Amino acid sequence: MKISLKHLILLSFLFVLAPALLLLSYTDYSKAKQELEDNFEFMVDQTAENVIGAYDLVEVGFRILSLSLENKMLSAFEPFKAAYYKANGVVSDIDLPSLKSVLGDEFDLYIIDEFGVIIHTTFAKDQDLDFSKVAPSFNEKLQKIREESRYQGDRIASETVTGNVRKYAYWGTPDKKYILEIGIKSSQFEGPLKNLDLLTISSSFEDFNPELNSVIIFNGNGTVANKPDFITSDTQKKNILTVYESGDRLDIKVADKSERWVYVKADVDEVDGSASQGDKVIELIFDTSSLENQLASLASNQILITITFVIVGGIVSLLLANRISKPISSLTGSVGQIAGGNLEIYIEKNKSSKELLDLSSGISKMKDSIRDKINDIETLNTSYERFVPKEFLTLLEKDAITDVNIGDSTSLKMGVLFSDMRNFTGISEKMSPEENFKFLNRYLEFMTPAIKKYNGFIDKYIGDAVMALFPTSAEDAVLAAVEMNKQLAIYNSDEPTSGKDPVNMGVGIHIGQLVLGTIGRELRMETTVISDTVNASARLENLNKTYKTNVLISGAVRDELSPDIQSFCRLIDRTQVKGKVEFLDVYEVYLTDNELLAEAKSKSKKVLTSIVDSYYLGDIKAAKKILGELEDDTKKDTVISFWKNRLKI
């Protein structure tokens, strides 16, 4: 007795609980996973805030200690300034060691020149240190002090070379030539500084938080404030500069090391006009392996529980649904292969139920029908695409040629390329009709792939001429023209040369607003393009004959090119398109010229621009003068020859 497929499906429906169990398990896992990640994120945010807060407290302590030493610094400058006046500003005559012995061993003296270089000092390790290289922004503040000839106390800061903590102050000499600097390492604040040591504070955070691998405090130039011996990598310097300039937090996950790098900026209020920069960038490196292990363990447990329940349910459902699963699976696999494009698959007729027999027979008939229809459509589309580019249909927002109606149109900004073979009439006269078509098709076989390569499509063939449209950019059209010239050279080298001159061509390119659409009648219509841009492109292509050039573009096209391509373009003339009042700038693209000629054309760019400007301003005399000053290496330049003939030189 055959069982109805409807009853089999109804029986199988009872086991919908298995998917529900999978969904529930996944929901529980997702919730637990989110909680773990949120907790870790909270720990990262809290640690970053705490480290910034600790640094702010250190800065406050430094500022208090710094202010307590201001009077001592001012007093120390008196003998220093006196020595400078006595030496009449000749720094080599100032006896800095003697001054140091008067002030005490805790003082060090420095003289910095207008370039930011320490030219004289009692602290040998800083001799010849160039602040313009190691700390450009700090040097700018120093030079401002010099230019304003004033005193400026500074915060307590680390020495650039040694990393020792000192208090500094600066005085710009009245003659604005030098900056006198005093640094003090006073026993008065050695004790308090032990409690404000950045290395100790950062180590405390690392010891307290087991998931915090390291805390490194960077200056704006990438040097380390809390670990003097640390060498900053190029990657770290890049990250530091990004955060220092933007002030935004930067998070980087390093999966292969199970780490998360967090960069935050600690802003310090500059209320005392200090020369050195107090702002820091703090790098926090967290170990994410613990979080990853917890997530992996959570996933494993959920998978194990789910698998256990699925297996139990699967055994029960398998016993009840085995009769339907095999034929349905077979038909499902066949349908999948049909959907994947395999229309030659054999569909077995399943007789286990009336419904399955009807279904398998219907799928087999459907497959055969789809195959026949696809073959017909592919043949038809292939034929249509030979006459109507599929890109044209795309621009008209049509899915198929059958959707196109008379009057369909769209307006777009596009590049238009015209190319034309030189002396085709003379060449064709020497050939039979069959040879003509063979020659022309081989020529186009070399030319047209470049258009498709650079996102263009051919609108129409006009004998030996080609009109192509570029919806993407003007630069694509120019690159296609360059590639066409390269292919032309290959074509000429491949063709037999006996009795034949090399084939030449010209290309003109303009960009502007186009109207694309269909014209004609119901029984006969075609696609076309309506625009002044087309006329301008054709005009530019035709001007190649006048200047004996290969590729000419308009000023509008040139303006949209990248700097690299623009460097191989030069203004050679201006022209008027028929029916237009405005002049069109004419640029030559000489990317395919040999190296010597291209170099000569690059040298003549500015001169040619001046000639064109003078000529169209009516100053023929100035144009002749400029042209007459050109060097002899422009003799092979056909454009220069054109201008000499035009100006009768």
pLDDT tens-digit profile of 483-516? 999 999 999 888 654 456 788 999 999 999 987 7
pLDDT value of residue 160: 43
Query: What is the tens place of the pLDDT at every residue in 434-452?
Result: 888 888 889 889 999 999 9
pLDDT at 112: 94
Scan for tokens 């066409």, then name that residue.
484
Q: What share of the chain is helix, strand, coil (3-state, %, to 5)?
A: 55, 20, 25
Instruction: Note the pLDDT tens digit of each residue in 193-241.
Output: 555 556 666 677 777 888 888 888 887 666 665 565 677 788 888 888 8
Cβ atoms of 360 and 374 closer than 8 Å: no
Question: What separation in angstroms does the CA of 500 have from each of 123, 202, 440?
Answer: 83, 83, 15
- Given pLDDT bands bounded at 50, 70 and 90, which one contains residue 272? low
**pLDDT tens-digit series, residues 184-206:** 875 555 555 555 556 666 677 77
pLDDT for 424 equals 81
Percentage with pLDDT > 70 across the chain = 77
Whole-number percent of the chain with pLDDT over 90: 29
- CATH fit for domain 70-185, picks 3.90.1150.10, 3.90.1170.50, 3.30.450.20, 3.30.70.270: 3.30.450.20
Residue 22 pLDDT level (bands cut at 50, 70, 90): confident
- Domain residue limits, the chain: 70-185, 198-291, 390-546
What residues pair up with 158 in beta bridges, in sequence order? 165
pLDDT greater than 60 at residue 154: yes
pLDDT above 90 for 386 = no
- Residue where the block lists tokens 């190691």: 134
Q: Residue holding tokens 């292509």?
A: 541
- Which tokens in the block code for residue 397? 């927002």
What pLDDT was estimated at residue 162?
47
| pLDDT tens-digit series, residues 604-630 | 899 999 999 999 999 999 999 988 887
CATH number of 390-546: 3.30.70.1230
* Same fold for the pair 70-185 and 198-291: yes
Please check the confidence at residue 11 and state whether its pLDDT lies above 60: no
Instruction: Provide the mean pLDDT of the chain.
Output: 80
Residues 623/647, Cβ–Cβ less than 8 Å: yes
The structure tokens 């960009």 sit at: 511
Residue with token string 């313009």: 132
pLDDT tens for 551-571 read 999 999 999 999 999 999 999
Region of poorest pLDDT, from 98-112, 597-611, 627-641: 627-641
Mean pLDDT of 161-174: 76
Judged against a pLDDT cut of 50, whether residue 27 lies above it is answered with yes
Q: Which of 558, 519, 552, 515 is CA-nearest to residue 536?
A: 552
The closest alpha carbon to 51, from 192, 163, 212, belongs to 212
Which CATH number does the domain 198-291 belong to among 3.30.750, 3.40.50, 1.10.3470, 3.30.450?
3.30.450
Consecutive H or E run containing 514 = strand 505-521
Q: Residues 263, 249: contact at Cβ < 8 Å?
A: yes
CA distance 510 to 536: 6
| Of the listed ranges 30-44, 138-152, 321-335, the one predicted with least confidence | 321-335
Beta strands in 292-386 (DSSP E): none
Of 286-290, 363-367, 404-408, which range is least confident?
404-408
Strands 165-172 and 179-184, bridge-based pairing: antiparallel
Higher pLDDT, 418 or 340: 418
Query: What does the pLDDT read at residue 239?
Result: 86
